[in-house]
Structure 1
Amino acid sequence: MAADDEHTDRPLHREDEDIAAEIADDTETLLTLLSDFYRGGISQATSNQNRIDQTTNWAITLIAALLSVVFSSPDMPAYLLIVGIVILCVFLSYEVRRYRFFDLYRSRVRFVEENVYANALEPTGVEHSNWREELSDDLRNPTFKVTVTEALSRRVHRVYGLLFGILGIGWVAKVTMFTPESRWTEAAELPGVSGVVVAVVLGAFYLSIVVIAKWPSDREAKGEIHGEEPGEWKNQ
């Protein structure tokens, strides 16, 4: 046991400390290392994309189940759809964090594609003159590439805006067309909260969803195809 401790505490040899520096000076070895790094980045990005898809699938399943239950009988309360909106917000919070991790790994993949593979196919110059230093710094000090606001906006714009809209339309239909025996204000009310207040709060919530989906206009997510015209290179 003492021998193991002595072996663990022994400092590294100088050759071991300089091995990475030697790789940096060897172009062939460095390109091999970058290929492995590229494949690893794709694997990490794919794994996080799958986690995002799983959350989205659960959200869709929740909506389908709630709509089936609420519209199965006139006696089912409309506030169940409001509960669904709250749960959907929880799923959205999970997706925002997972999207930021996904974008972190995807940005590294795009960085290698821009500065190594693109220039290898047509050597017209790299996008970043000090790309090796930038990538090295990001590996030593990893940071998210998009803000919470942008991640939230992207997920609402692409997926959750539609899901929230389905629940909202379902709620309006439930308190109006599917409860003919009572006024909509009575069908919409919660314990201690009038139906008018509930409707106003929901209206404000959906207005905020529209604002979030449209803002911010400037995107920082690297590798996103946003607002670009379709390319024609496949037709050439």
Structure 2
Amino acid sequence: MTETDSELIEPIDGSKEIGALAHLYRAEVYRSTIWRQRLDMTTNWAVVSTGIALSVSFASATASPLPIPLVGMLTIMFLFLEARRYRYFMTWKFRARLLELALMVPVLRGEGGKIMTDRGTALSDDYVTPDFHISALQAIGHRLRRNYLWIFMIQYVAYFAKIWIHPIEAVTIEQMVQRAHIGPLPGGLVIVAGTLLLFAFIGVTIWTYRVKQKDTSRMSDYLKGEKIE
């Protein structure tokens, strides 16, 4: 749509329309707040589960280190669940930000309560054909960077500390590796698998962070053809 065409389109400035948009903004902020709380909920589950596993494993010298890797697998499930919730959260956040930029910013600048039709197209299109605004891998990387990578590191270090000092302090690395066995799985395989998984999470975290840094777009790009620096 050209600048001339946008000038010919009547802006949405009726009291009923502006009131409806205000209620829509409240609804989108409420939904984003609810999904924000759901993100915190899964993070709390991961933290509490890790704390319980460490308490059980370090309760005595004869306690098994098995709860730590078991809770590690449970934390992976929490990570995937939270990444899915984060994708939904970004949908509501996207809509709330569009309403803020298209309606609230002009009001605060004294330009009046109106929204140009072309500036609302991005929002209307999102309602007609709703879609996620972030990929599943990017969501996983974001949640790793914010919370879960640190939880996994604590679990990783705690597991090595457990098999090193209990039941007595290991004299050699071979002795520590033998203590790392889980059932029929040899200790070496368990350690290698855990290390590779941790490095995989670190790689995803770094990759998604670099992708985010290279993305120079702003929310305003969805509303008009110029960028806000």
Q: How does the TM-score come out when normalised to structure 1?
A: 0.77
With over 3 angstroms needed to count, the CA separation of the structure-2 counterparts of 1:31 and 1:129, relative to structure 1, is: closer
* Structure 1: distance between partners of 2:95 and 2:218: 9
Deviation at 1:204, TM superposition (A): 0.5
2:51 pairs, out of 39, 64, 74, with 64
1:70·1:78 contact (CA, 8 Å) conserved in 2? yes
Deviation at 1:26, TM superposition (A): 5.6
Which 5+ residue runs of structure 2 have no aligned equivalent? 1-10, 220-229
Counterpart residue number, 1:196: 188
With over 3 angstroms needed to count, the CA separation of the structure-2 counterparts of 1:45 and 1:222, relative to structure 1, is: farther
1:110·1:222 contact (CA, 8 Å) conserved in 2? no
Deviates more, 1:161-170 or 1:171-180: 171-180
Bigger RCO (CA 8 Å, 6+ sep) = 2
Tell me whether 1:44 sits opposite 2:31 in the alignment.
Answer: yes
SS of the residue aligned with 2:211?
coil
Deviation at 1:222, TM superposition (A): 7.3
Aligned length: 199
Tell me whether 1:218 sits opposite 2:217 in the alignment.
Answer: no
Deviates more, 1:75-84 or 1:204-213: 75-84
Tell me how large the CA RMSD over aligned residues is: 2.4
- The amino acid of 2:56's aligned partner reads V
Give every structure 1 segment of 4 or more consecutive aligned residues whose post-TM-superposition deviation is greater than 3 Å: 220-223
1:28 pairs, out of 15, 35, 54, with 15
Which 5+ residue runs of structure 1 have no aligned equivalent? 1-23, 224-236
Counterpart residue number, 2:163: 175
| Higher Rg | 1
2:28·2:96 contact (CA, 8 Å) conserved in 1? yes
1:106·1:222 contact (CA, 8 Å) conserved in 2? no
With over 3 angstroms needed to count, the CA separation of the structure-2 counterparts of 1:61 and 1:25, relative to structure 1, is: closer
1:42·1:106 contact (CA, 8 Å) conserved in 2? yes
Percent sequence identity over aligned pairs? 25
With over 3 angstroms needed to count, the CA separation of the structure-2 counterparts of 1:48 and 1:26, relative to structure 1, is: same
With over 3 angstroms needed to count, the CA separation of the structure-2 counterparts of 1:56 and 1:32, relative to structure 1, is: same
